[in-house]
Amino acid sequence: MEFSNEEKLNLVSKKMIAIIRQSTEERVRSHSANKNFNLSEADPAFNTINWPGKRASSICISSAALKINLTFYFSPDDVKKVAHQIYGKDAPGELSDDQAQDFIKEFCNLSAGQLVNNFNNIGFSLEMGLPVCLNCVDNTDLDLTRVTGLISKCEDLCCFSCEDCNMVMHSLIEIIDLDSLFPILNCEVSLNTELRSNEIDFL
């Protein structure tokens, strides 16, 4: 069956978003040691300027065919509610804002690593950068370098929630070589998100 370029872009974009969501949802559950985290659609009116706490962590994943920027927006007070047990603390108030930020920064790093592994397993080689933390009103640390030969880009916004903790994930996917990505439609990603003790390096 022949597809137009527009149809190919639509199919590849949807598949990329599905892989990112699937991988990250399982990673947030394993990283927080909390299986109650659920993924849902984020409020379309979400605005980083009004996000409580104004904190974010971002990381870039790229290859010759595409570039992905993942950004996680969070409130330190929310994160403390699920992260304090990971740190061996009895109450959320025993964690500092910096520790909550480190928790998300490492989660950002692990999520990118999960994506790289998943894509490598289906024959697509990707490389990842280092996670950065920033205020939501300050994007100066984001890797927003202009992509040479950009064909199209798409965005996705979703929310991870558990009890009183909410985290928004923004994915920016920039497609450079559509033909090399098209075979991804026939691939199924096998997840292995079991968290090993040596994966957590912020404790």
pLDDT at 128: 93
Question: What single DSSP character describes residue 95?
Answer: S
Give 202 or 170, the one with higher predicted confidence. Answer: 170
Lowest-pLDDT choice from 112-116, 117-121, 161-165:
161-165
Alpha carbon distances (Å) from 164 to 33, 81, 100, 143 = 16, 8, 15, 31
pLDDT at 50: 67
188 located within any domain: no
- Cβ-proximal residues to 6 (8 Å cutoff; 6+ apart), any chain: none
Residue 196: pLDDT over 90: no
190: its two tokens:
């096998």
C-alpha 49/C-alpha 136 separation (Å) is: 6
142: its two tokens:
């984001």
C-alpha 60/C-alpha 28 separation (Å) is: 18
Lowest-pLDDT choice from 39-43, 50-54, 157-161, 165-169:
50-54
4 conformational bin, left if phi > 0, alpha if psi -120 to 50, beta if neither:
beta
Q: What is the CATH number of the domain that holds 42?
A: 3.40.1550.10
191 located within any domain: no
Query: What is residue 38's three-state secondary structure?
Result: strand
Domains of the chain: total: 1
Residue 184: pLDDT over 80: yes
190 located within any domain: no
201 located within any domain: no
44 located within any domain: yes
186 located within any domain: no
189 located within any domain: no
- Tell me which residue range forms the domain holding 62: 5-181
pLDDT at 157: 92
pTM: 0.83
147 located within any domain: yes
Residue 141: pLDDT over 60: no
